[in-house]
Chains A and B, each alone.
Chain A
Amino acid sequence: MAEIFRKIDDYRWEIPVGYKPGMRVPGIIYVDEKLLEVIHKDQSVEQVANAATLPGIVKASLAMPDIHEGYGFPIGGVVATDIAKGGLISPGGVGYDINCGVRLVRSNLKKEEVLPRIKDLVQILFNEIPTGVGSRGKIRLGRGAEERAALLKGARWAVENGYGEKEDLERTESGGCIEGADPDLVSSKAYERGRPQLGTLGSGNHFLEVQYVQEIYDEKAANAMGLFKDQVTVMIHSGSRGFGHQVCTDYLVTMEEAIRKYKIELPDRQLAGAPFDTREAQEYLAAMRAAANYAWANRQCLMHWAREVLQRFFGMSPKDLGMNLVYDVAHNIVKVEDHIVDGKKMKLAVHRKGATRAFPPGHPELPSVYKDIGQPVLIPGDMGRNSFMLVGTKRAMDETFGSTCHGAGRMMSRHQAIRSAKGREIHRELEDMGIYVRASGRESLKEEMPEAYKNIADVINVVHNAGISTRVVKLKPMGVIKG
C-alpha cells in the first residue's frame, strides 16, 4: 500500500496524479508513519484521489490526519475550487451536518471548585439542555418572519432575542452569520425538521463538556484567549440538526440532475455538484448558508443555557463567573475565500468537510483580540482523553487554504465499537478515570467510547509539527452530556 504514496516530508504524503484516472491535481495527506497505518483500513485514500478529479480543483485534494471514510469525500478533507473557472460546488464536500462545529467558553472557576460537585452539575446540565433524538428545544421558532430572521442572521438573531451577548458574535467564525442565505431556497421539509430542533444538542458525536485546562503550551496565545492552568471551560459540539440534513438531502437530488445537465463525470455519485456560476450551485450555497446560520444560532442558544445553569449552580453573577466565549469554529462548510495560489490572488470555494479553518495572525477576518496570535482552532477529542486549542498559521494559509484537522477521527465503525463494548459499562470506566457522563441514547456511550477514536494527541502532533496550526492549551474532560 505504501507505494501509492510519495513521501514529501515526515508529515506530508502525496498521492500522485495518475494514481486514478481523471485526477486533475495530486492528493496530499497530512499524516505521519504511525497514522498512515490506520488510514489504510478504509476507503479514505481512494476518496482523496476521487476528490482530486473535481472540475476546477486547485493545487491539491487535501486530507488532514484525522481522515476517515465518508460518503464521496473523505471526512477530514479540504477541497478548493476556482470559482472563475467553473469550479464545482459540491454538497458532499460539506456533508449532511452543515456547519457542525465547536465552541469553547472560558470561566473564572478553577478545577477544585467544580470537581467535588461535578455529578450534580452534569445532571442539571443534562436536564436543562435538550439532547438526543426527537428532543425538542425550548424555543418554538415561529413560522414565517421569525424563522426567516434566524436563518438570515444566525447567532445574531439569537443574541437579539436574548440568548447571549454582543461580544459573543465577534468571537464566532464569520460573526456567527454568513451573508447570502436565502430562506426561500430551503424546502418545507427542512423547515418542518428544523422548527422544533433549534436549541438542541443532537445525538451521535455531539456533546457538551465541562473541562479544565490541563496544560499550556503557548502562554501568549492562552493569555489572549483568557485561558489559564486548571481553569474550568465548557465546550459545545453541535450543528444544524435535521434542518441541515434535509438541505443536504434535497440538494444532493438537485446535483444529481446538474451533473447530467452539465455533463460532469465523477467517480462517485456522492461527489455530485454544479459549477459555481450555475443556478444549482448558487441555490445550494444560499440554502447551505441558511443552514450554517441555523447552526450558529443553535450553538449560541446552547451556550446561553449552559451559562444560566452555571450561574445558578454556583450562585455567581455573570461578571464573577466570567463565562465568555473564546471562539466558535465551523468544521463542515463551504466558503468563498481569497487565497494566493502560485503568487496569484484567487477567489476559491473552500470546502471543509471535517476540517477547521485556521487563519494566521493578521488575517482581516480575525477579531482584534486575536489579530496578533492567529485564529483560535478548537479540536475536540474523544470523551476520555483530551481536547486541544490551537491557533492558525501562515503556513496553513500557504499550504492548506488556511485549514487544519477537526477531531480525533474514528478508527472503529459504530457497530464494531458497540460489539467490543458489549458487557462493559463505559460510563463506569469513564467515572473511574474521573469523567462523569450522562447520555440519552442507550448505545451512544458505546459508539463513542474512547477506543473507537484515534488518539487525539497523535493527530495534534501531526498538524503542530507540520506547522498548519500550533498548540496553545490541552483540555481535560470532567463531565460530559451526550445525545
Chain B
Amino acid sequence: MTEGKRYEILDVTADVGILAYGNDIKSLFENTALGMFSLIVEPEKIKVKEKVEVKVESRNIEDLLVAWLNEILFIFETQEFIMKDCSVSEMDERHMIAEIRGEHYNPEVHPRNVHIKAATYHNLEIKKSNSGWRARVIFDV
C-alpha cells in the first residue's frame, strides 16, 4: 500500500483492536500484522536481522486472518522473535505463506507497550470496497 493509512487503533474497554487497510488481500494481511506489532513495540526500535517463514491454514478468510496473527504471536512468545516487517508470498482463502522479518526480542532495546496475548473472533470483520480492503480485529491483552 503506497498511499493512505495502513492501520489505525481502536479502543475497546478491556482490550484493544485495530482497523487495517490494504489494496489487496495480501497487503491487508501484512498491514494487520504490522498494526498488531506496532501496539507491542514501536516499529522504529526493531531492526531487520533475521527472517522466519510462516505457513498458516484455516477454514475461511476471516479465520485465516486470526490464525495468521495468532501464529506470529506464538512465534514472538516462544522464539522471542519480534517482527518489524512481513510479506505474504502466496495465499488463497484457506492457506497462506509469508515471511516475517525482524530480530530477537530484547526487553532492553524493545520496551513493550501493550502485551497482546491473542487475536480474537470478537467483532472480527473483513470488508472489500471500491477503495480496497479493510479488516477489524480485537485483541486479548
A residues sitting closer than 8 Å to B (CB atoms) are 41-42, 44, 68-72, 75, 96-97, 132-134, 189, 192-193, 203-204, 242, 245-246, 248-249, 252-253, 256-257, 268-270, 272, 410-416, 418, 440-443, 447, 483
Sample (8) of A-B pairs whose CB atoms are under 8 Å apart: A41-B13, A69-B13, A132-B107, A203-B115, A441-B112, A442-B112, A443-B113, A447-B114
Chain B 73-109 residues near chain A, CB threshold 8 A:
74, 77-78, 80, 105, 107
The residue of chain A having its C-beta at the shortest distance from the C-beta of B58 within the complex is: A253
Chain B 27-58 residues near chain A, CB threshold 8 A:
58
Cβ–Cβ contact A69 & B111, under 8 A: no
> B14 contacts which of A68, A132, A252, A418 (Cβ < 8 Å)?
A68
Please judge, given known A-B contacts A242-B117, A413-B11, whether A256 and B63 are in contact too, CB under 8 Å: yes
Q: Is B24 positioned at the interface, with any CB of A under 8 Å from its CB? A: no
Q: How far is the CB of B11 from chain A (nearest CB, A)?
A: 4
Cβ–Cβ contact A270 & B11, under 8 A: no
List 6 tightest A-B contacts by C-beta distance, closest first: A71-B122, A413-B11, A203-B115, A442-B111, A269-B121, A69-B13
The residue of chain B having its C-beta at the shortest distance from the C-beta of A411 within the complex is: B13
Which B residues are CB-close (under 8 A) to A97? 117
Chain B 124-141 residues near chain A, CB threshold 8 A:
124, 138, 140-141
Q: Is B9 positioned at the interface, with any CB of A under 8 Å from its CB? A: yes
Cβ–Cβ contact B118 & A249, under 8 A: yes
Cβ–Cβ contact B140 & A245, under 8 A: yes
Q: How far is the CB of A418 from chain B (nearest CB, A)?
A: 8
> B117 contacts which of A70, A72, A245, A413 (Cβ < 8 Å)?
A245
Cβ–Cβ contact A134 & B122, under 8 A: no
Q: How far is the CB of A69 from chain B (nearest CB, A)?
A: 5
Cβ–Cβ contact A410 & B14, under 8 A: yes
Which B residues are CB-close (under 8 A) to A269? 121-122, 124
Cβ–Cβ contact B59 & A249, under 8 A: no
The residue of chain B having its C-beta at the shortest distance from the C-beta of A252 within the complex is: B121
> A204 contacts which of B63, B115, B120 (Cβ < 8 Å)?
B115
Cβ–Cβ contact B74 & A413, under 8 A: no
Which B residues are CB-close (under 8 A) to A441? 112-113, 115
Cβ–Cβ contact A134 & B107, under 8 A: yes
Cα A447 to Cα B141 in complex, Å, equals: 11
Q: How far is the CB of A244 from chain B (nearest CB, A)?
A: 10
Query: Which applies to chain B's interface (DSSP): helix, strand, loop or mixed?
Result: loop
Which A residues are CB-close (under 8 A) to B12? 42, 69, 413
Q: How far is the CB of A249 from chain B (nearest CB, A)?
A: 5
Please judge, given known A-B contacts A410-B13, A442-B112, whether A72 and B74 are in contact too, CB under 8 Å: no
Against A, the Cβ 8 Å flags (1 = close, 0 = not) of B14-25 are 111000000000
Which B residues are CB-close (under 8 A) to A133? 77, 107, 112, 115
Please judge, given known A-B contacts A132-B107, A249-B70, whether A415 and B9 are in contact too, CB under 8 Å: yes
Cα A442 to Cα B42 in complex, Å, equals: 12
Please judge, given known A-B contacts A133-B115, A249-B118, whether A414 and B15 are in contact too, CB under 8 Å: yes
Cα A101 to Cα B121 in complex, Å, equals: 24
Cα A72 to Cα B123 in complex, Å, equals: 9
> B11 contacts which of A192, A203, A411, A415 (Cβ < 8 Å)?
A415
Which B residues are CB-close (under 8 A) to A257? 59
Cα A377 to Cα B67 in complex, Å, equals: 37
> A268 contacts which of B11, B70, B122 (Cβ < 8 Å)?
B122
Please judge, given known A-B contacts A96-B118, A134-B107, A442-B113, whether A70 and B77 are in contact too, CB under 8 Å: no
Cα A256 to Cα B63 in complex, Å, equals: 10
Which A residues are CB-close (under 8 A) to B118? 96, 245, 248-249
Cα A257 to Cα B58 in complex, Å, equals: 11
Which B residues are CB-close (under 8 A) to A203? 112, 115
Which A residues are CB-close (under 8 A) to B58? 253
**A204-B117, A443-B113 known, 10 other contacts, Cβ within 8 Å:** A68-B13, A72-B122, A96-B118, A134-B107, A253-B58, A269-B124, A272-B121, A414-B141, A443-B112, A483-B115
Cα A133 to Cα B105 in complex, Å, equals: 10
